[in-house]
Amino acid sequence: MSARCYGIGVIGCGKIWEIGHWKGLQEMPDEARVRYVHDLDPALAQTAAQATGATCLDDPAAIFDDRAVDIVAILTPPFARVDYVQRACQAGKHLMLEKPMARTLEQALAIVGSVREAGVKCFIPFMRAVSAPRRELAEAIRTGTFGEPLAFVHAALGVPYSWIPLDHWMHDEARSGGPLFDYSIHFMEMARACLGMEADTVLYGGATTTGRVASDDIATLLVHYHGGAFGQFTKSWNFPPGTRLGHSADHVVCRDAVVTLGGTTEIHTPDGVSEFTPSRSVPNGRAESYRNLIDAIENGAPLYANETNGLRMNEMLDAMERSRASGAVEKVAAN
């Protein structure tokens, strides 16, 4: 439990606010209070204000100016974050900054520079990697519980996101980066945590097969890591309209076992299959993320994912875009 109730200013009140952040914050009313909400769409901001009791702002300036705001949750599309981050940092506000941290590596570097110069805390919510059960699993894999980790394989196949229009920015490669950038980034971060290695080189393969979205609708990224491990990440949006089911599978291949990630985590060995049972579960990962950020502010606790984690992902995705353009293997730049 935090020592006091922290003030939250929210910039961006779209779907990720509604189904993610707000649900988490509702579980911690004595620890965090939403004081202001802002969105370029006034209707979204009004809806968020009504739900939270916060002040709805046409201009976000009060979020940066009011000393009652401790944390700024920046939930805008990734191409529209740098200015908000810089203003928050200049005001000494801590950050809950949605993934991916930025649309380009240049933007990510600008964000990292602002965060570090200001000395504020910045949490990047890679929700498939930062929850307590996933952190415990990643540590077990990374430290050799199942033998040396050799590869991470991710595949998610289906239709475009059903909860947004086809012309939404998330389906637009120029604005979102495409399916790997927008969705599979969660699993790329989980791979980093499990393998304990940084990406060295990448090779991209993708195609536009349906024309329903302004993006490659099937994409694969092959990754070679420092230390010798391998990663394969595949995401598709090209199943026929009306398809009710998709396919999602994530595996970590170790020398002595294959670990499958899902609702239950299974350990497959030559002797049979068992379940990995974490020592504790967390009912809401978003609340856990805000509590970790508050603990870092109050006590200097390490963040489960910070601006460095975000930068590592943008470095990998920058190499992915260069590989898409060149059709060749590209080196991941380390900054």
Spatial distance between the Cα atoms of 63 and 36, rounded to a whole number of angstroms: 6
Spatial distance between the Cα atoms of 19 and 17, rounded to a whole number of angstroms: 6
Spatial distance between the Cα atoms of 293 and 298, rounded to a whole number of angstroms: 9
Q: What is the pLDDT of residues 189-206, one digit of tens each?
A: 999 999 999 999 999 999
**What is the DSSP secondary structure assignment for residue 12, as one 8-state letter?**
-
- Sheet containing 6-11: which strands, arranged edge to edge? 55-57, 32-38, 6-11, 71-74, 94-97, 122-123
Residue with tokens 């769409």: 41
Closest Cα partner for 160 from 244, 242, 238? 238
| Banded model confidence at residue 40, pLDDT cuts 50, 70, 90 | very high
**What is the DSSP secondary structure assignment for residue 145, as one 8-state letter?**
B
User: Tell me: domain 6-127+284-306, CATH 3.40.50.720, correct?
Assistant: yes
Q: Considering the chain, what is the average pLDDT of its residues?
A: 96
Query: Where in the sequence of the chain do the CATH 3.30.360.10 domains occur?
Result: 132-281+315-331
Tokens representing residue 93 in the block:
């506000």
Query: Where in the sequence of the chain do the CATH 3.40.50.720 domains occur?
Result: 6-127+284-306
Statement: residue 169 has pLDDT above 90: yes
Assigned fold of 132-281+315-331 = Dihydrodipicolinate Reductase; domain 2 (3.30.360)
277: how many CB neighbours lie within 10 A of its CB?
10
Single pTM value for the model: 0.95
Q: Is 147 left (phi over 0), alpha (psi -120 to 50) or beta?
A: left
| Collapsed DSSP state (helix, strand, coil) of residue 200 | strand
